[in-house]
Structure 1
């Protein structure tokens, strides 16, 4: 009997495929609505007479609540441990479908803030559930979950583009239907959150004190992740405008972003698989080594080469995204939801804020002069810092 128990204890934990699959689909549903904004930005800019600085501010608006809110909800998720909180993501995100009903810049800004609250609830809980459901292959499991979000953004961009071109801008509102339906189902189908809420740290001060010993590697990983996310967010926010400014159409801009995100999905899955074999640090470095020059090159060549290179850059950069969450959870396993929100939410908020800077630079120097230089400088900074990350899987 002892031998059997020892063998069971030493056997690698098996992944719960049903839970992982549900989390991937849930992440697709949540992030699909964030994908609505980018391809519609040229139409919104024309209708509301927006400057590029205002475009950058709108691109960051969703993140003010969706991303910074994750830090707060991550802390409470470690205490409450309720899987049904995920349902608020697609339920609130569906508000994004009503963007063309907003009469001006500030009402649209407010709508994006409100839509982001659900995403702030969704991500900390879902990230931990993905880690718990992944078994011994946590890099692959979490990356599958993260890649569901990239695929969701691609689906959202494609759906918004189809609805706008088929029914006009106001027809984008039909896109709210699947989010409302699936979010309602998640209230009852969400995976259980394992662990005892009473074991969580009793207050925020003690939680922060317990993280002091791992702050330095966590912060370095966060900065590397910020650099990667800032340049990929630049693609999502400004490539449709860049394509239209060079004579392309709304449909071409939406298609390019969608293909970039589909390639990013594949890269994220394979990056997680490689990180289980080669280590999180190695995958992080290689993703930046390959992605940075590819992204710079994409702004210097015409289509169809631009789209193909953007797809390759997306696959390279996003190979690191899910890896960074697993990396952070391994650095601070007792605070998995909190560090996940730090690595995703706070980082996405900061990267979203950088879009205001990109927009202001583009107003001053033009999109063609700003985008390749910004991507080279910020991507190169992330690459340089990645060599100082801790060396463990």
Structure 2
């Protein structure tokens, strides 16, 4: 659900201290975003070399990428279980439609705040707690006795998702070297794989053990949290002096391009969230089993992760804005075509739609970090967190529309957000639109 991968202590150390701010380059302003250069004695063997990541960095990236996979693995549990929860807890369609934005409020909407908090108290604890909370509480969805208890469970589980993400993205950007777009896409790909495999796993588990024993799924996530506790003690930024965060700098005129990028992210997220949460219900309307919904979510998100990797790769060679525009506009017809077909053809179209629309996910995050390198952690939370949360807000309205028409009609309406996202690319300043890495 989270786009939907790392840890960092201080936002001013996300990028190299002398790395220029993209917006300052465009405006001609000479603004120094760092007050001091860390002395050589403080440089850790985990820090970046000029040519790319060191062996130690690769190991840290691999471990944190695994953690992202696990964190999003549990974030994927809610959507495929919605048909079962609807029947077991006697929920109305509007109540079901309210669950995604409630979960997104905790899992995504609080990510900028978690980014700010991590800059004050350090990232290591939040990274470990994030994986542990997501594993433990999202696995307990089957223990809910009513709507209120279900909301409480997904709020706490969502907080675990939120703890992890902004620091993961910021650290990945710092350690990426000359291939930031590609490395970020691999990082995000791991999360997308997790959130695509999670539905298959939890549906198979509850089909075998019953919904009430879904808590068994927590075991692998808790094991990964222990591994993080053992091997993240020397993560970059841990133990260093924390500088004052630059939270107020987010609310300046220079943030306009970032907020345009944020709106694009919101619109694209709306489409992905709508299809992820409502496809199982649409297939249930057709009389198809619970496993069909899990397979559809897997096709959408797994191939979306592959698309994100290629999008990041291409964005290192071509204009990032062009990748975002083409990704947004070209996804719309594939989503619409999926809704008009069935069988194998429908799954293929859904896979293509997911790959196309998710191709720009890492691109948007990297663009935001390049625009505000001194606020990379909070910008990452804005793109990955707030974007997903705001994108989930239309879900109750779409559920009401589905209640009066059909789930297929509601999903078709949501596709229009792709075209709006493509149009908003032209609102970005020309210097940003035409800029390559």
TM-score normalised according to structure 1 size: 0.92
2:53 to 2, 10, 14: 14
Trace 1:284-299 onto structure 2 (pairs within 5 A). Answer: 284-299=324-339
The SS at the match of 1:247 is coil
CA distance in 2, matches of 1:34, 1:148: 13
Aligned to 2:24: none
Deviation per residue, 1:179-203 (Å, 9 max, x gap): 11111221232361349553333xx
SS at match of 2:337: helix
Cα separation, 1, equivalents of 2:155 and 2:420 = 30
Alignment partner for residue 268 of structure 2, among 225, 228, 239?
A: 228
Superposed displacement of residue 211, structure 1: 4.6
Partner of 1:382: 421
**Residue 4 of structure 1: aligned partner:** none
Once the two structures are superposed, residues 150-189 of structure 1 have per-residue CA deviations (whole angstroms, 9 ceiling, x without a partner) of: 1001121111011022222223221111111111221232
C-alpha separation in 2, matches of 1:114 and 1:11: 41
Q: Deviations over 1:343-383 (max 9, x none)?
A: 111111111222122112111222122211221x2111111
Q: Counterpart of 1:31?
A: 72
Do the aligned partners of 1:283 and 1:320 also contact (CA within 8 Å) in 2? yes
Q: 1 or 2, which has the higher helix percentage? A: 1
Contact kept? 1:97, 1:172, Cα under 8 Å: yes
Pair 1:200-2:205 in alignment: no
Task: Check if 1:180 corresponds to 2:222.
Answer: yes
Distance 1:322 1:161 in 2: 29
Residue 272 of structure 1: which of 296, 302, 312 is its match? Answer: 312
Residue 216 of structure 1 is matched in structure 2 by: 256
Q: How many residues align structurally?
A: 380
- Asked if 1:121 corresponds to 2:124, the answer is no
| Residues 192 and 301, structure 2, Cα contact 8 Å, conserved in 1 | yes
Asked whether the equivalents of residues 172 and 187 of structure 2 are also in contact (C-alpha less than 8 Å), the reply is: yes
The answer for unaligned runs of 5 or more in structure 1 is 1-8
Residue 131 of structure 2 is matched in structure 1 by 90
Decide which of 203, 212, 218 is 1:161's aligned counterpart: 203
Query: Which string of whole-angstrom CA distances, capped at 9 and with x for unpartnered residues, describes residues 314-347 of structure 1?
Result: 0011111111111100000000101111111111
Of stretches 11-20 and 272-281 in structure 1, the one that deviates more from structure 2 is 11-20
TM-align CA RMSD? 1.8
Q: Secondary structure at the match of 1:258?
A: helix
